[in-house]
Amino acid sequence: MPDRSKMPPLRPLQTLRSPEPSVFTLSNGLKLYCLEAGQLEVARLDLAFRGGRWTEHKPLVARGVSDLMLEGSCRHDGPWIAEQVDFFGASLGTTYLMDGLEVSLFSLNRYFDALLPLLVEVVTCPAFPECELCTFIEQSKANLLVDLQKPDVVAYRTFTEMLFGAEHPYGYNSTPAGYDALTRADLQQFAVEHFHARNAFAVLSGRLNDRLVEQTREALSRLPVQGKPAQPKSIPPCPPHGGRHHVAMPRQSQTAIYVGRRLWPRRHPDFPAMYVLTQILGGYFGSRLIKRIREKLGYTYSIYADLEMMRHSGYFYITTQVAPERAAETLREIFAALHNLTAHPPDQAELQMVRHYLLGNMLANVDGPFNQADYIRTPLFEEAPADMLERIGHVLYHITPDELQALAATWLQPDTMTVVTAGPEH
């Protein structure tokens, strides 16, 4: 055992600092954010395009573009692209988000200049081969049929549809007919409208040097200055708050539960305090929902509360899976926890515990260049404040239990909650 008398004393963390990248504006208007840190000679470039579901002209187009971008360009087919990436021991991938798409290159520094032209190629002239589109459609439909047998997936799909509406960008669900309706022309139209410098930003992170930064700037300057602008679709109004719905799945052994409500984007002034309040309710292993429903009652292995934030909206939710005969009692316990938050302030000991947990968790989330890159991309996508780490830290140090209770009374009233269950009738 270590001699604790010789260990340095523990000191409370006094301040949190958000990553501060260097910013370059390229000749085509694209902004490049550079984060230099780390010991290994590796770097990652994340090229992000805004839009996603909010500006797609047909459902599922953005997902299709993300999945098929690397399946071929106007110069090379997909296998050649994959072989080149593998040859250099690198990684080239895409990420589909509600509010945009990302293309990410991860490589040893000494090979970065050889791979940058490939990244630019797949972005500026994706081919979307017809045969690959057909394969994507068939595989997606097969995966969807499997997913629709899972209560948690069905409950989530129903929950988001009830929150936003079946025609809303954040509320619509994938269907076999939706996949069948996709065409190569749809994907090409989306690429033309979105893949240009005015609609993009890039984050370069890792063990950087002047030469690597300059090579990246030169490569990204080749992106077209302006494509055909993407027009946001006409968004239907969201349904009223509240409501209950059960999806009968008689052959399942568990019931999935979603409870929650619409909120607002991350830039809302109440977000930092709401983030803290959500952790108290169900955001970590010592939270109220875990202690009561998992540890004391033994109804579930996992239950948690969280916030999902997007550029134009957001929502709060609680989710778990339980035995069907325990679903009604679990819902009663969830609503009792919500009522308790709105009626009684948390005590100082509970607030101190979540303060220590969140401070450590947030430090871990910005440890290393790639975590820092993930952190700064979020506000860029969502138009949120770049100093959110400091804002949450300020709330952690200064918010009072009474203020948390008042926040719960404003945003977590039980009668505003939408409830969805999926599983056997009981």
Q: What is the DSSP letter of 229?
A: P
What average pLDDT score do residues 57-67 get?
96
Average pLDDT over residues 11-38: 87
pLDDT at 4 over 90: no
Cα R_g (the chain), whole angstroms: 24
**DSSP-assigned letter for residue 261:** E
- Domain ranges in the chain? 22-220, 243-423
The pLDDT value recorded for residue 227 is: 66
**Residues counted in the chain:** 426
The CA-based dihedral angle spanning residues 293, 297, 256, 327, taken in that order and rounded to the nearest 10 degrees? -120
d(CA 223, CA 204): 16
pLDDT-based confidence at residue 9 (cuts at 50, 70, 90): low
Averaged pLDDT for residues 154-169: 97
State the residue for tokens 């140090």.
Answer: 397
Identify the bridge partners of residue 25 per DSSP, sorted by sequence position. 31
Question: What is the phi/psi pair of residue 29, to 5°?
Answer: 95, -10
Residue 175, CB-side half-sphere exposure with 13 Å CA sphere: 11
Q: Which pLDDT value is given to residue 11?
A: 64
Helix locations, 125-245, DSSP H: 130-147, 151-164, 176-180, 184-194, 210-220
Residues 226, 193: Cα–Cα separation, whole Å: 9
In whole angstroms, give the CA distance from residue 386 to residue 366. Answer: 13
Is residue 301 within 8 Å of 316, Cβ to Cβ?
Answer: no
- Asked if the domains at 22-220 and 243-423 fall in one CATH topology, the answer is yes
Cα–Cα distance measured from residue 276 to residue 305, given in angstroms and rounded to the nearest whole number: 11
Cα–Cα dist 395/172, whole Å: 35
**Tens-place pLDDT, residues 233-260:** 778 888 998 999 999 999 899 999 999 9
Number of Cα atoms under 13 Å in the Cβ half of residue 237: 3
Band (3; pLDDT cuts 50, 70, 90): low
Query: Which among 114, 152, 124, 96 has a CA at the least distance from the CA of 28?
Result: 124
pTM over 0.95: no
More confident residue, 228 or 65: 65
Q: Are 369 and 35 in contact (CB under 8 A)?
A: yes
Pick the CATH number of 243-423 from 3.10.20.30, 3.30.830.10, 3.60.21.10, 3.40.50.12500: 3.30.830.10
Question: What residue type is 343 in one-letter code?
Answer: A
- Contact status, residue 331 vs residue 257, Cβ threshold 8 Å: yes
Average confidence (pLDDT) over 255-278:
97
The answer, yes or no, to whether residue 1 has pLDDT greater than 60, is: no
- The pLDDT-based confidence of 169 (bands split at 50, 70, 90) is very high
Write out the CATH class of domain 22-220: alpha beta
Tell me: pLDDT of 38 over 90.
no
Cβ-proximal residues to 130 (8 Å cutoff; 6+ apart), any chain: 184
Task: With cut-offs at 50, 70 and 90, classify the pLDDT of residue 89.
Answer: very high
201 vs 32: CA distance, rounded Å: 6
